[in-house]
Amino acid sequence: MRLGVRAALVDGEVVAGDVTIEEGAVTAVGVSPAGSLGTAVPGFVDAHINGIAGVDFLGADEQGYRRAREALAATGVVAFQPTFVSSPRDAYREPLALAGALPADGLPEPLGVHLEGPFLAPAWAGAHDPGHLLPPDTALAAELCDAGPVTMMTVAPELPGGLELVRMLAARGVVVSLGHSDADAAAAHAAFGAGARAITHVHNAHRRWRPRDPGLAGVALVRPDARVQAIVDGVHLAPESAYGAFLAANNRFCLVTDAVEAAGMGQGSYRLGGRTVLVADGAVRLQDGTLAGSLLTMDQAVRNLVAAGAGLAGAVHAASAAPAGLLGRGDLGLLRAGAPAHIAVLDDELRVLRTVVGGVEAFKAAR
């Protein structure tokens, strides 16, 4: 089939012409005559999302996941990593089992589960219930990993036993991200040296950067082996902070949403894990005012990063190839002949017109 696009973003360059797809793969780009629909780009990958469209992944059933995946397709997402906040240990079992049994049905693909906790620093709990935080425990971590498809875990490496936990998870192939942490530079370097691969949300919920105490963010921004994940919603980061991190990290910069079930919904009261959160004035907060995830979508994150100063190619890379690389998914985040057809089509205002997952149309905007 033809996508009907004017151009495609191929390896960072805009190539004029249409895109053709057969049997789930891209067969050609730059096809004449060009269509009129917009620009095809690699489909987006969200590595950190708690929920969307009234669905909290920690408590979702299969129908809830389907509703959330349909909403994600409308934002250009072709794959995502459902995220579970810190919870009682027994609360993870059924959600992990369900996440590992979802059907492949032409909607955005769940890539495994991101456990954001429970091995986090109480001083930087953020929206996590401090009563659910635990000291690093390799036996419990292994038990959680055995219960379902855990592909990423956020940990605070400075806690006693933290480096041992990082090494154990890395040896199992779990992506270790550092966050909700009071790690200083030495502790951060030690954790990346032990196998950690990312910072969970730069400049949020960790020891603050200071000129003589750069902490976790300062280390992640300069280490070539660290991916820098960021919530570019205009609430968690000022545009200058987001763009500065993007310039420092370059192709290591990963957009994430950290969205909660309220994303795509109206103002009011919602749930994040077992906690009540309130939506007002474009932000999600606990009752005490603490930020509690976001209302962000990946297409809006791309638009925000471009508005802050990034080029289209760099912003799309941050939403697709960079998070795909972090998760070891070389089949995602690229658009070229022979690649799987995971594609978003954007109009001139970078709004999503169409999303294709594995060659199957998952979303098409009403004309």
Q: Which of 46, 258, 288, 299 is catalytic?
A: 258
Cα–Cα distances in angstroms (integers) from residue 302 to residues 45, 80, 254, 307, 367, in the given order: 12, 16, 11, 9, 22
Active site residue 18: no
CA–CA gap between residue 290 and residue 112 (Å, rounded): 28
Instruction: Please enumerate in sequence order all residues whose Cβ is within 8 A of that of 40, keeping only pairs 6 or more positions apart, or say none.
Output: 3, 5, 7, 8, 9, 19, 29, 335, 343, 344, 345
* CA separation for the pair 201, 231 (Å, rounded): 6
3-state secondary structure of 182: coil
CA angle (144 as vertex; 227, 117 as ends), nearest 5? 50
Tokens read off for 311: 């080029």
The answer to whether the CB of 346 falls within 8 A of the CB of 128 is no
DSSP labels, 290-335? -B-SB---HHHHHHHHHHHT--HHHHHHHHTHHHHHHTT-TTSS--
DSSP code for 40: E
Q: Could you tell me the two tokens for 330?
A: 């070389």
Tokens 């890379």 found at: 317
- Which residues are annotated as catalytic? 258
